[in-house]
Amino acid sequence: MVLIVGGAYQGKLDYAKNQFPDVEWIDGRDCEEEEIFSCGGIHHFHIYVKRYMKRNIEQQIIIRNPQIVIVSSEIGYGIVPVDRFEREYRELTGRICTRLAGEARQVHRVVCGIGTVIKG
């Protein structure tokens, strides 16, 4: 598994496509829930988490699709949302990405379109 993270609009998907040109991508904004277990890569992973709010999804990914490339925005910076659901979503996404990073063979962070390998 590879995890690619960075802020919004930092060029994560373009970077990922350059690094992994043979990956077929799904979009977390509109993919089916089960597609994550058979795809090569998913971008907008943070939105996938928000759409399905599945706890322990990271364990299922590790077991069922260990070669996946995951692209996710870092959403834990900034002002803490007042809305309870938004806070829970933000916390869940952070915890899932933290666990995935621990299991990933590589973790990249992208800023201004420039990727840095922070694990691997």
Domain count, the chain: 1
**DSSP class of 82:** S
Range of the domain at 75: 2-119
Indicate whether this model's pTM tops 0.85.
yes
Average per-residue pLDDT in the chain? 96
Q: What is the 3-state secondary structure (H, E, C) of 10-53?
A: CCHHHHHHHHCCCCCEEECCCCCHHHHHCCCEEECHHHHHHHHC
60-80: pLDDT as tens digits: 999 999 999 999 999 988 889
Helix axes 45-52, 84-103, angle to 10 degrees: 130
CATH of the domain at 73: 3.40.50.300
